[in-house]
């Protein structure tokens, strides 16, 4: 795990003022990996959920892996129920969350970060010195389960 990332997060890189992390979330009792995007140049007032004290924090936006298809142009028609309007609505929400404004330039920056991350994940290969079993064991030790079409890879 990177020193730059807090516990439970893996630092993936930066895209302009956005920092990208990999994390896990639980949605409807199902674990999923997620891209955690944080705007490092903007601080917003917040409340510590544990102590209730006022605090400053950086705005964030979370994209579960299961939703990546929505942001990939070649995947938009695969499900037949979502189109470019749904993608634009999500990007508008992300722009408002991360920047406080829905501006086309912010949407493009966020989409670019998501698509670049998707390509990195798609092209990711295990280290050449590891066998498939050792790589899956290492992922399991990190708390990760590799799934393809909802089925765990073993």
Q: How far apart are CA 107 and CA 30, in angstroms?
A: 29
At residue 1, the pLDDT reads 34
C-alpha dist (Å) from residue 26 to 32, 64, 122: 6, 10, 22
In this structure, the number of other CB atoms found within 10 A of the CB of residue 72 comes to 16
* Beta carbons within 8 Å of 93's beta carbon, 6+ residues apart: 61
Burial bucket for residue 18 (CB in 10 Å: 0-12, 13-18, 19+): buried
At residue 83, the pLDDT reads 67
The alpha carbon of 148 is separated from its chain's Cα centroid by a whole number of angstroms, namely 17
Compute the mean pLDDT over every residue in the chain, rounded to the nearest whole number: 80
Predicted confidence (pLDDT) per residue in 59-87, tens digit: 899 998 888 878 876 555 555 555 677 88
What size, in residues, is the chain? 154
pTM above 0.85, yes or no: no
């Amino acid at each position: 795990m990177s020193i730059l990332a807090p516990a439970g997060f893996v630092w993936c890189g930066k895209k302009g003022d956005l920092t990208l992390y990999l994390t896990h979330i639980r949605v409807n009792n199902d674990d999923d990996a997620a891209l955690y995007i944080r705007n490092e140049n903007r601080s917003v007032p917040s409340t510590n959920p544990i102590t209730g004290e006022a605090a400053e924090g950086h705005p964030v936006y979370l994209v579960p892996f299961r939703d990546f298809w929505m942001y990939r142009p070649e995947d938009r028609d695969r499900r037949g129920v979502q189109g470019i309007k749904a993608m634009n609505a999500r990007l508008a929400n992300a722009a408002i969350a991360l920047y406080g404004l829905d501006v086309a330039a912010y949407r493009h920056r966020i989409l670019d970060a998501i698509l670049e991350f998707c390509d990195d994940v798609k092209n990711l290969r295990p280290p050449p010195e590891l066998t498939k079993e050792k790589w899956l064991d290492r992922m399991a030790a990190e708390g990760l389960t590799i799934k393809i079409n909802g089925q765990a890879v073993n």
